[in-house]
Amino acid sequence: MNLVSVAWKEICHRRSSLVSGLIAITLGIAVIVGIRTVTKASEHAVAVKLDSLGANVLVLPQGATVDDYHTADIDAPTFPEEYVERMISSALLGVENISPKLTRRIKIDDTKVVLTGILPDNEVASKPTWQIEGNITPEHNCAGDIGQNADPRLKREVIETLCEDECLVGVDAATRLGVQAGGTLEVEGTKLSVSKILPATGTVDDDRVFMHLHVMQELLGIGSQVSAIEVMGCCSAISDGLLSKLRNVLPDTRVTGIAQIVSTQIETNRMMDRISWGVLLLVLLIGGLSIGNTMWANVNRRRREIGVLRMLGASRSRIIGMLMLKAVVLGVAGGFFGYVLGTVFVVGMGPGTLGLNVGVLPGWFLISLGLATAVALIGSLLPAYLASQFDPSTNMQEL
Amino acid sequence: MLLTTENLCKRYERNEVAVDALLNVAIGIPEGAFVTVTGPSGSGKTTLLLTLAGLLTPTAGRIQFRDTELTALTDAKLAAFRRDHMGFVMQNFSLVPYLSARENVALPIALGRKVGKDQLQRADQLLDRVGLADRAAHLPRELSAGQQQRVAIARSLANEPDLVLADEPTGNLDPRLARDILDLLEALNGDGMTILMVTHSPEAAARGTQRVHLERGQIVEVAQPTA
């Protein structure tokens, strides 16, 4: 027998008196877990939405406009491709993919088209319709914090195997040029085989011809220059100031975000995040008070017993320790039940009520246990201290 | 002497009214004695016992337990001293309701952090000594008043104390059970255990080898009956 077993027996003996405290802490943790789970699911949903938009940050030469980039004028300004390396070496958090591009309007068989040079390893086929069989890389996960719950839609396809003598042709450009997959196109005197006609995306890409960036630079004789760098930034990183950080890394460029559409939702997520922490504080306060009240009622009921323990030689610190042991048991139980209740509730209600696919947050299991135990310990501190100060001679004589 | 007191005083003050529960008490408890303390209600008997145990802080005076001055110890040291050197038998038995008889007896050992099977074996031995070997697994509510007091006596011996302090140990028992308990205490004393027993009962007091009579917080008589 040891004091842990004595504390456990006391809990079992008076379990009904602990129910109110246990319920309070269970509900508190359930609320916290529920809110955090929904918040994470919402962030995940935003990440999916952002991902569907493709690259969300555009780096342009200083003085260039987005129109310049799209119209691909012959005189459109460029900047060194070396900027890509500069971005990579700066190791900015939240930069998921970097895709340098060179665009120029050229003539192919007297037909004006926009030729776009891309680096196959970097090019994000962000448009969902760019499905190139056999050319799909391992996943690039935007929402890195969603771990095992990653939505398969977050897997981005990257063109890996566009050879130097190949090109991809947008559907509209293919119609105008009269080419099909497997055919050839002569670009600035060089024949390129058409490896794929890209499906319609409803964007300017439909009227473009894509080829290897370095081959294009050589053909056009413009050195290692690019017109733009498309960046796939993680949604939370964008709201955390990724654009300004990029501007610091590349001061002589123009960095624009093209993900305004989701910025409101990101802000909503941030607000929800803040609210969840606010609720957390509130729940901790209420839970702590409730546990404190339960423990105070318990020690008052045990006045005589505490007096007996003091008589038998338990020091004040030992009395506090025994009561704290009880608080730990209460906290662990409350944390466990709260996690299960909160998770089951939001996962069950999520799709129907919230319109979200809510996943389980395994990491919050230990957090729930720790949080509930900490609340129980803090809430029990004062009652335990007061119990240790009970006058044993008075309590022993109380019948 | 096992325990001596000098000018021991205990004053209660409530609502600006002061009551001297003990006034200049000087008592000496020899090793192996069976001291009984009698006196009318409010004479300070229980206060004397609780003060000697360190459960009440004296207003003045000193308590010497062999080489240790109890009145100079900190609360934690006093608790440890009480655990290691004193046993208690109270009128209301003071058993922990959710622990079995065996666990109640082992509790003082557990408080000393001596964890292991030995403590339960020792508890079984002590229960056997008080005639309750077959009730070791019973909770206090499953035992009669006399049996509960026997468990309390067994518990008082758990840490092999030097002194057993008994406060009206027969107060809640019928005469036959009271006699059994007194016989048991007497037998313990016969084995060399020093006992200080507070009692109202003349019959119980007569068992003592040294009888102390208190009135209004003062010792008015110390008798040492001839064998």
| 3-class SS letters over B184-200 | HHHHHHHCCCEEEEECC
Tell me what percent of the residues of chain B surpass a pLDDT of 70.
97
Give B108's contacts in chain A (Cβ within 8 Å).
312-313
Cα of B150 vs its chain's centroid, Å: 13
Residues forming beta bridges with residue A192, ordered by sequence position: A185
User: How far is CA A13 from each of CA A2, A7, A84, A362, A373, rounded to the nearest angstrom?
Assistant: 17, 10, 69, 33, 21
The residue among B82 and B171 whose pLDDT is bigger is B82
Backbone angles phi, psi at B128, to 5 degrees: -65, -40
- Are B75 and A315 an interchain contact pair (Cβ–Cβ within 8 Å)? yes
Give B106's contacts in chain A (Cβ within 8 Å).
1
Give B103's contacts in chain A (Cβ within 8 Å).
1, 6, 9
CA distance B73 to chain A (A): 13
Residue B66: the pLDDT is 92
Given a cut of 80, is residue B80 above it in pLDDT?
A: yes
Return the number of other C-beta atoms located less than 10 Å from residue B4's C-beta.
16
Q: Are A233 and A242 in contact (CB under 8 A)?
A: yes
Q: Which residue of A has its CA nearest to B94?
A: A308
Q: Which residue of B has its CA nearest to A389?
A: B75
Calculate the average pLDDT of chain B. Answer: 89
- Find, among B92, B93, B90, the residue nearest to B198 by Cα: B90
Return the number of other C-beta atoms located less than 10 Å from residue A341's C-beta.
17
Q: Which residues of chain A have pLDDT under 50?
A: 124-129, 131-158, 261, 398-399
Q: How does DSSP assign A306-368, residue by residue?
A: HHHHHHTT--HHHHHHHHHHHHHHHHHHHHHHHHHHHHHHHHHHIIIIISS-PPP-THHHHHH
Backbone angles phi, psi at A182, to 5 degrees: 95, -15
Q: Which residue of A has its CA nearest to B49?
A: A393
> What is the spatial distance between Cα B48 and Cα B37, in angstroms, rounded to a whole number?
9
Residue B101: the pLDDT is 95
- Of how many residues is chain B composed? 227
Q: What is the DSSP letter of A139?
A: P
Which residues have a Cβ under 8 Å from the Cβ of A162 and sit 6 or more positions away? A118, A120, A123, A168, A195, A210, A211, A212
CB-nearest partner of B110 from A2, A10, A13: A2
Given a cut of 60, is residue B186 above it in pLDDT?
A: yes
CA distance B222 to chain A (A): 26
CB of B60 within 8 Å of a chain A CB? The answer is no
CB of B115 within 8 Å of a chain A CB? The answer is yes
Give me the amino acid identity at B150.
R
CB-nearest partner of A9 from B83, B84, B98: B98
Tens digit of pLDDT for each residue in B92-110?
Answer: 888 999 999 999 999 998 8
- Are B96 and A314 an interchain contact pair (Cβ–Cβ within 8 Å)? no
Residue B210: the pLDDT is 92
> What is the spatial distance between Cα A104 and Cα A231, in angstroms, rounded to a whole number?
20
Residue B202: the pLDDT is 87
Q: Show the tokens assigned to B220.
A: 């008015």
pTM score of the predicted model:
0.64
pLDDT band (50, 70, 90) for residue B73: very high
Backbone angles phi, psi at B139, to 5 degrees: -80, 160
CB-nearest partner of B106 from A1, A13, A308: A1
How many Cβ pairs within 8 Å bridge chains A and B?
Answer: 80
Spell out which chain A residues touch chain B, with contact meaning CB-CB distance below 8 angstroms: 1-3, 6, 9-10, 12-14, 304-305, 307-318, 392-393, 396-397, 399
Largest CA distance in chain A: 110
Tens digit of pLDDT for each residue in B26-40?
Answer: 999 999 999 999 999
Residue B60: the pLDDT is 93
Helix, strand, coil share (%) of chain B residues, nearest 5: 35, 30, 35
Q: Which residue of B has its CA nearest to A12?
A: B98
Return the number of other C-beta atoms located less than 10 Å from residue A239's C-beta.
21
- Are A9 and B99 an interchain contact pair (Cβ–Cβ within 8 Å)? yes
CB of B50 within 8 Å of a chain A CB? The answer is yes
- Are B82 and A312 an interchain contact pair (Cβ–Cβ within 8 Å)? yes
Give A393's contacts in chain B (Cβ within 8 Å).
50, 55-56
Q: Are B87 and B165 in contact (CB under 8 A)?
A: yes
